[in-house]
Amino acid sequence: MLSTQLPPLNARLAGSALLALAALVIPFHASAQTETPDSESSTEETDTPEAEDDSVDLGTMIISGEKIQRTAQESTTSASIHNAEDLERNGDESLGDLLRRVANANFNEEGRVSIRGISQNGAANGSGAPLISVQVDGVTLDRNSQQSSVSTLFDVEQVEILRGAQSTSQGRNALGGAMIVRTKEPTWVWGSVVRAGLGSRNAFELGYAGGGPILDSLAFRVSGLVNKDDGFITDINTNDDEYAKSRTEVGRFKLAWAPLGIPGLTSRLGISKSKFQGKRVYNMEPGEAASDPAFYRTSSANDPAYNDVDSRTASWETVYDLGDLQFTAVTGWMKSAQDYLLDYDGLDYDDGALDTAYRGENWTQELRVNLSSPEVYSGVIGVYGGRFDTSTLIEAEGVPYVENPPIFADYEQELVQEAENIAIFTEFDIELPYSLTATLGLRYDREELDSRDRFLTTAATSGGLDVLPLVLATGQTPDTDGFQGGKTTYDAILPKAGLRAALSDQWSVFMTYNEAYRAGGVDVDTESGNAVEFDPEYTRNYEIGARGQLRELGIDFSANIYYIDWEDQQVPVLAGNFFITQNAANSRLYGAETSVSWEATDAFTFDLTAGYADTKFLEFEQNGEDFSGNQFVFAPEYTGAVGVTWTPTESFTGTMSYSHQSMTFTQPDNLDSERGDERQLLDGRLAWKRGHWQLSLVGKNLLDEDYVTYSFQYPNGVPADSGARGYATYGRPRTVFGFVEWFL
């Protein structure tokens, strides 16, 4: 077994141990000494005058992803929280719609997500474990299941976008941030909604959600949605404008049990199944990608293609609330399957196809205890365990493998990974004199990974002749002679510390420090068949910020400024015709995000978000090229949105938002020809409700802006065509959807 430990930073480890001791001991010590009504915090609460009668109730948003019940005003995490009312008001049909309004977040048509300039695939387009954790009802999703599970926000109660490292609370794969989705829970009041809609490009949607009590202590909720769309890609070869049509199906069932004889005990079981059928929406174009409008949103592939994703999840959450003591157990399971077929070159040449089958399965279990003593401390202690299995099988047929002389090959490549992760974590908020709150947290994380790869060339022809023995003997095509790979074990101690000062009952400032990591692993060099180990990567995150409310004016404000050191980055390095992972980069990034919400009148609410992210590779050499000084991939420098909501009567609501995102580079060499375009998108929704009925009209990209979300260049063409070629994907054009809903 290959094993790597943390760098010998004795001082840091000693400090981490002290943080752990303080987090566990100080709250109970403080509790024993401060159970008197004349403490400073009690005096302040007594002396603070109540808000004026004409102040605006700005509501309370709880951030569940932190595992401690903090409100958005109490939290130091840079969080963008959106409840069901907000999602409906803005007409958010998918996670991509929502992220347009989130500062320092990016989402494109291929499902790539980045937060603060850190892409879920890594800063240089790696293929390792994700850097942004995505959870639905406590279930951790893999990147493939996200295509179907969060493709719709129908019947969702809350979405939390947590920016910055969340390793203390979320652990694995949260180095860049986390997205936490909670669907609506069963209630003991009967209610349901039926929804139907028609939209651009023959789009159609039909959904139902509802439920109620079965017994006095048992309730259920069921929801289902079907969505189809002809897509926005036209096949050049056949002039078929339904080439990329898609269909999404999502079904959920939830059961809640609250036994009458055990007050404070609740148990919820959730099961979901989702399915997506469509195609990869990309095009290979002559010359530079996106340089000729005749090729915008088209496809020139001549081979059949599909992209089918199937995902199933189950979650079981039990909470026993005893007031100042709360026990929680969360079990999660996910199983996903993706099968897709691609034209190898994306052109109208007969140059073979790639058939890929991906399978993934996750099991997770978390047990935690929340403790609190009013005005003294609140915190959480927990343990976590998970198993994450994936397999990918690629079967290539008749693809041009060697250019000169031209050799066409059939091959199979299979990657199998089994990861086990265990962790112990704790985090406490401790009330101090002078309206100060200290946050101390610690996580011990250990991961074992078994990664194996095989590559088998099954056929090779040149000029109609069988040349397989020759190319294998000369090494022109690889063969690993069965599975190669190895096992790795890594662990890390991840501290967190912060200090928050309440300047008044409406304003606070804070500073925090935390550390995050992504475990290492092992890749197989398919050219040599050798296992190549890579080490963990680490970030140190520094942050300051402020929270404020002017209740008399109806203003809610938050801002965060951050700086991150990133060491031993895992980046892809080309080995022959395939990539392996190496620790070949060090980086730094800094930036800020802010949000302001203003309830100007009873009829008008204004929202503003703005983000700035400066990313830079300090050291990065890849295959003889020096990318030092370049930006990360999918890292927009500026993001933001302005929005207005108009509610002149209880029956009518109008919402408009205008979002901006600056251009991004899609490859670490930062070429202008490999980019995602700057974009300004106008979205809106009008809704009229009367009695049990609601009619709404939703528009996305109302100005019909053309923009590229991803491009890549082949300056010397592809084996079948020596002319320059560009690979591009495009943003969705203007889309209008009308809905009718019936509330029962």
- What digits encode the pLDDT tens for the residues 377-409? 999 999 999 999 999 999 998 888 777 778 888
- Using CA atoms, how far apart are residues 370 and 44, in angstroms rounded to an integer? 26
**Predicted confidence (pLDDT) at residue 30 exceeds the cutoff of 70:** no
Domain boundaries, the chain: 2-743
pLDDT at position 691: 94
**Predicted confidence (pLDDT) at residue 3 exceeds the cutoff of 50:** no
- Using CA atoms, how far apart are residues 662 and 671, in angstroms rounded to an integer? 15
- The DSSP call for residue 51 is P
**Predicted confidence (pLDDT) at residue 546 exceeds the cutoff of 70:** yes
Which token pair is 504? 């008044």
- Which amino acid type is present at position 562? Y
Cβ neighbours of residue 443 closer than 8 Å, sequence gap 6 or more: 167, 168, 171, 423, 424, 425, 426, 493, 494, 496
Mean per-residue pLDDT for 121-125?
A: 83
Q: Which residues pair with 180 in a beta bridge?
A: 135, 160
Read off the pLDDT band of 6 (50, 70, 90): very low
Read off the pLDDT band of 614 (50, 70, 90): very high
Residues 717/723, Cβ–Cβ less than 8 Å: yes
Read off the pLDDT band of 723 (50, 70, 90): confident
Q: Mean of the per-residue pLDDT values for the chain?
A: 87
Within its chain, how far is the Cα of 10 from the centroid?
34
Residues 488/498, Cβ–Cβ less than 8 Å: no
The mean-pLDDT minimum among 228-232, 289-293, 446-450 falls in 289-293
- Using CA atoms, how far apart are residues 195 and 135, in angstroms rounded to an integer? 26
Mean per-residue pLDDT for 690-719?
A: 90
pLDDT, greater one: 570 or 20: 570
Residues 737/203, Cβ–Cβ less than 8 Å: yes
Read off the pLDDT band of 721 (50, 70, 90): low
Mean per-residue pLDDT for 311-327?
A: 95
User: What is the C-alpha radius of gyration for the chain, rounded to an integer number of angstroms?
Assistant: 27
> In a 3-state reduction of DSSP, which class is residue 187?
coil
2-743 — its CATH code? 2.40.170.20
* pLDDT > 90: percent of the chain: 61
pLDDT at position 98: 93
pLDDT at position 474: 77
**Predicted confidence (pLDDT) at residue 683 exceeds the cutoff of 80:** yes
Residue tagged 């915190």 (tokens): 379
Q: In what order do the strands lie in the sheet with 725-730?
A: 283-286, 725-730, 708-714
The pairing of beta strand 679-690 with beta strand 652-661: antiparallel
- Which amino acid type is present at position 387? R
> In a 3-state reduction of DSSP, which class is residue 502?
strand
Mean per-residue pLDDT for 606-624?
A: 94
Residues 638/130, Cβ–Cβ less than 8 Å: no
- Using CA atoms, how far apart are residues 479 and 64, in angstroms rounded to an integer? 49
pLDDT at position 150: 66
**Predicted confidence (pLDDT) at residue 33 exceeds the cutoff of 50:** no
pLDDT digits (tens, 9 = 90+) for 343-377: 877 777 777 888 999 999 999 999 999 999 988 99
